[in-house]
Amino acid sequence: MNTTIDNIHLATHLVYTAGNLAYRMRGQGLTIDTKTSISDVVTQADRAAEEYVTSTLIQQRPDDSVLGEEGTLRLGESGTRWTIDPVDGTYNFANNFEYWCSAIAFTENDPTDPVRLRSRERYLSPSNTVTAGAVYQPCTHNLWVGGKNIPTTRNGQPIPHFGDPARETPSSLASACINTYLHPTFYHNPEVYAAFLRVIERCATYRMMGSASVDLASTAEGDTDLWIQHRLPDWDRLPGAALVLGVGGAVQDVEVAGEVWTIAGAPHLVKGATAALQGAALQRD
């Protein structure tokens, strides 16, 4: 029987190897295909990295389920599900911007109904049910690992938890820097855009960088204070959500304007952002 620690070691190995495989392939030249839009792209490196991770999991975890961004779906009987994003931030990756990563999560006692898993619905499982995740950013050589009851580390070094005196966290959204992303098509959806603005206008500043897993690693690390995004599939949410949980953070999924939004960070900031998203009145100082 594989333990959680065994799975963490395997996840670490998989993202490190997959990330470096993609990095080497980029240096050799890429063929870029589009999926749903001009900014939603895929390369042969994405596919090769996912194939490597999937084949390794089939060999080493034959009874586990596997879900990958580039089409992998394998149903197992163990109750553990692996969720793979071989290259998160492919647009950045394909355009030689360093803000991308390889990411993987595993969920023990996965609550997802197999019928829904087969459908590859965008939102399959609550973000806070993930057991652990690993995120590797090859361009910076940073590897984060953490999860529920698994203190998050970067390159083996512990990251201070929320509430730790060594960690500075804003007392309110008004002083917070948040990571987020809103695809331009949603600027023309009045309900979604209004919900987005209700959070943004309460914060000191925000960043849109294009890789949810790196964003969430940044929030876990303390480089940014909060992360919020809507309409994300499990492979974009779960690896980084695990890192935030591993530093004592909160991860909240909430439905607003017909979309599921995920908010992660210090518990009091998540609470404030959730209230803002749901329409709480803005209080001016």
Residues contributing to the annotated binding site for Mg(2+): 69, 85, 88, 236
| Tokens 């009145």 sit on residue | 281
Contact 133, 147 (CB under 8 A): yes
8-state DSSP, 109: T
| Tokens 């017909």 sit on residue | 258
- Distance from the Cα of residue 71 to its chain's centroid: 18
Q: Could you count the other beta carbons within 10 Å of the beta carbon of residue 211? A: 29
d(CA 152, CA 221): 9
Which of 56, 40, 50 is CA-nearest to residue 70?
50
Beta strands in the chain (DSSP E): 32-37, 40-43, 65-68, 73-74, 81-88, 101-107, 132-137, 142-147, 150-154, 157-158, 177-180, 205-207, 226-230, 250-256, 259-265
Strands 259-265 and 250-256, bridge-based pairing: antiparallel
d(CA 109, CA 115): 16
Binding residues: 69, 85, 88, 236
Q: Where are the alpha helices (DSSP H) in 181-266?
A: 190-200, 212-221, 234-245
